A and B are shown apart, each in its own frame.
Chain A
Amino acid sequence: AQSVTQPDIHITVSEGASLELRCNYSYGATPYLFWYVQSPGQGLQLLLKYFSGDTLVQGIKGFEAEFKRSQSSFNLRKPSVHWSDAAEYFCAVGPTGTASKLTFGTGTRLQVTL
Chain B
Amino acid sequence: GAGVSQSPSNKVTEKGKDVELRCDPISGHTALYWYRQRLGQGLEFLIYFQGNSAPDKSGLPSDRFSAERTGESVSTLTIQRTQQEDSAVYLCASSSQGGGYNEQFFGPGTRLTVL
Residue ranges of A at the interface with B (Cβ–Cβ < 8 Å):
4, 6, 31-32, 36, 41-46, 49, 51, 90, 92, 94-107
Contacts and interface: CB of A to CB of B under 8 A. Distances in A.
Identify whether the interface residues of A are mostly helix, strand, loop, or mixed. Answer: loop
A91 to B, nearest CB: 9
Interface of B: 3-4, 31, 33, 35, 40-45, 48, 50, 56, 58-59, 91, 93, 95, 98-109
Contacts, number: 74
Contact of A41 (B43, B91, B108): B108
Nearest to A106: B42
A92 B33 CA distance: 15
A99 B95 CA distance: 13
B100 A95 contact: yes
A43 B108 contact: yes
Contacts of B3: 43
Contacts of B102: 100
Nearest to B6: A43
A23 B104 CA distance: 20
Contacts of B59: 101
Nearest to B99: A98
Contacts of B48: 100-101
B99 A100 contact: yes
11 contacts: A32-B100, A36-B106, A43-B91, A43-B106, A45-B106, A96-B100, A96-B101, A100-B98, A101-B58, A106-B42, A107-B41
The CB with the most chain B CB atoms within 10 A, among A42, A96, A102, is that of A102
Contact of B43 (A32, A46, A99, A104): A104
